[in-house]
Structure 1
Amino acid sequence: MTHILHKADSRGLADHGWLVSRHTFSFANYHNPARMHFGMLRVINDDIVQPAMGFGTHPHENMEIVSIPLSGALRHQDSMGNKHMITAGEVQIMSAGSGLTHSEYNNSDQEEVNFLQIWVFPEVKNITPRYGQKRFDKANRHNRFQTLVSPQKEGDAIWINQQAWFSMTNLDAGTSLSYLKQRTGNGLYFFIIEGSVEIEGTKLDRRDALGLTTDGDEGQVQVKALSQAEILCIDVPLH
């Protein structure tokens, strides 16, 4: 099993005043040839947007875009006619497909909003653009993994146009659990939202990340919380 460690302080930083964005992978003016992507996972941006500020209308195509608010609320509008508020506890996904435009703003004029913006290359290009949004009960991820995003159009998860699964867990200190890879040929990318954990012998702290690639069908990974922790796992094709 190959370990790819990305420490929080190794991420790219863009400070625009109204926006502070930390880039796990190359993005905009941050370019690192060693940090272009992890398989089909292309972008993880940890964004903090100042009150009443945001991203004006801009285009996307042929990308699966997942937004996970960690605090605050985002106001979303797009060319598909969607106008929604996205708050902490919810997950939004857009299949940009053949092309769309959208904007997102901090809905508050007093508080910052912090959200993860994650891009995944699509399985099928030029599909009709799609929008999905759902609130997930955090009680269902207490000391276990809760699936948020899945390529299977069943269950509670939001559909994604890729053989990828997004899961989250909230762990009590000292708790151990295992994650079983969903698909042969996928890699696992763990992003530590809060707390400290140990994954397959590697210690990770807040906003650290670990990519794991395996040979064959091997794919059960051990996770132990060293403190109270919140973890995002992205199970994504490597090729």
Structure 2
Amino acid sequence: MEIHRSGDRFATDAERRRTRHSFSFGSHYDPDNLRFGLLVCHNDDLVLPGGGYPDHPHSNLEIVTWVLSGALRHTDSKGHTGVVEPGRVQVMSAGSGVVHSETVDATSGPTRFIQTWVLPDEPGGETTYSSAAAEPAGQWLPVVSGSHPDAATRISANRATLYAALLAAGERVEVPETPLAHLFVTTGSAVFEGSALGEGDAVRLRAEGGTITAAAPTELLLWTFAG
């Protein structure tokens, strides 16, 4: 079990946005922190109205966006558009290549979102876009998966599943024992197997699970990667 504290993340500041990176990213190169299983990016963004990311390219990635507050607008070169807000999850399979933008309208409030990039089973392929309702409660909700039959939407990574849980103070959930799991506290605070976790803290697990108990109202995201 490895605990990675929020304050130890790399940070990128740009006009109208701040991004905190859990893994090596851009100019923040760390050869010892390039990925965790299929997970190659875990960014925590705060974007102010009128800001965001103008057109930029991607390929061979499953890009999953989870909005905590505000609203994020997506457009891409394949003609897909959408606005994702809390209570929905957005997935873009970049396939063989796509150019997209992610922006916050001038009339929207500050927007915080978690974006994760997962490697697909096969490179290339079609670019797809989807969003779906996903409103977690006191147990794990399968949000995105390559194989889970109840997931809100799909990705092209058969061994990967993203779960979300929203806990009241004192509620607890079990983190399953899987080959690899990445647990992240989006908001609130909790205790995992005796270790206190706060907002932005993460736990990387290898073939071990445990119990996490909310110390306050807390939202959690959990990526699991099967062998």
User: Offset of 1:123 from its aligned partner?
Assistant: 1.2
The amino acid across from 2:80 in the alignment is N
Distance 1:195 1:172 in 2: 10
The amino acid across from 2:84 in the alignment is I
User: Offset of 1:220 from its aligned partner?
Assistant: 4.2
Distance 1:9 1:174 in 2: 25
User: Which residue among 76, 84, 87 is the counterpart of 2:85?
Assistant: 87
Q: How does 1:40-189 map to 2 (within 5 A)?
A: 40-109=38-107, 111-136=109-134, 138=135, 141-152=136-147, 154-162=149-157, 163-181=159-177, 186-189=179-182
**Gapped regions of structure 1 (runs ≥ 5):** none
2:189 is equivalent to residue 200 of structure 1: no
User: Offset of 1:122 from its aligned partner?
Assistant: 1.1
TM-score by length of 1: 0.89
**Structure 2 contact 142–150 (Cα < 8 Å) conserved:** no
Distance 1:25 1:227 in 2: 27
**Structure 1 contact 39–237 (Cα < 8 Å) conserved:** no
**Structure 1 contact 14–21 (Cα < 8 Å) conserved:** yes
- Percent identical among aligned pairs is 33
**Structure 1 contact 43–120 (Cα < 8 Å) conserved:** yes
Considering only aligned residues, what root-mean-square deviation do their CA atoms show, in Å? 1.7
The amino acid across from 2:58 in the alignment is H
Aligned residue pairs: how many?
226
Distance 1:207 1:220 in 2: 20
List per-residue Cα deviations over 1:133-180 (Å, max 9, x = no partner).
Answer: 1122x3xx3221111001127434211111111011111111222133
